Amino acid sequence: MARYNPSRRSVLQTAGALAGAGTFARISLRPALATPEMMQDAVRAAIGEAQVQKGKVKLDLPPLVENGNSVPCTVTVDSPMTANDHVKAIHIFNEKNPQPNVISVKLGPRAGKASFSTRIRLADTQNITAIAEMSDGSCWSDEVFVIVTLAACVEEPKP
């Protein structure tokens, strides 16, 4: 899927224009969101200087999520999972949540299949990246663009 990458500046400009035009703007006390740079730092912290290639990894996320609080997520890596050739670790990163890490999984040949599923939180429409570290030191990745729409109604905080 083509990478959608609006700059923070353009997003903020649009938001400002909408607010100025008197359109209903939801004011949220959200913390500063992660940036693509923070995500790159998190990737380096996880896998060091290894070069990341696209392929072998399949990241499954719904393209349009029902609710950002709980998004089903599955990663599957093409690997024979033998003692000599297996996935050592799988990491998932995001670009727009307050924090760039999502989960880091450690596997080995005992897994039989390099795949896991979980449920994650997504704070905004964004790109999600999964990176797999192989036993030979190579790193492979997949990236998915996900649109997040919140529930249609504005809910009151639980009394």
| Range in contact with other proteins (rule: CB under 8 A) among 2-10, 18-26, 92-100, 135-143 | 92-100
Judged by CB under 8 A, does residue 125 bind other proteins? Answer: no
Judged by CB under 8 A, does residue 18 bind other proteins? Answer: no
Whole-angstrom distance, CA of residue 34 vs CA of residue 36: 7
* Near other proteins in 20-59, by CB under 8 A: 29-31
| 58 or 104: CB nearest other proteins | 104
Q: Give the list of residues 6+ apart from residue 27 with CB closer than 8 angstroms, or none.
A: none
Distance of CA 135 to the CA centre of its chain: 23
Whole-angstrom distance, CA of residue 101 vs CA of residue 119: 14
Enter the DSSP assignment of 136: T
Interstrand relation of 64-65 and 71-77 (parallel, antiparallel or unpaired): unpaired
| Range in contact with other proteins (rule: CB under 8 A) among 19-27, 50-58, 116-124, 137-145 | 116-124
- From first CA to last CA, the distance across the chain in angstroms is 42
Judged by CB under 8 A, does residue 131 bind other proteins? Answer: no
- Site residues (vs other proteins, CB under 8 A): 29-31, 62, 64, 66-67, 69-72, 94, 97-99, 101-108, 110-113, 115-122, 149, 151-159
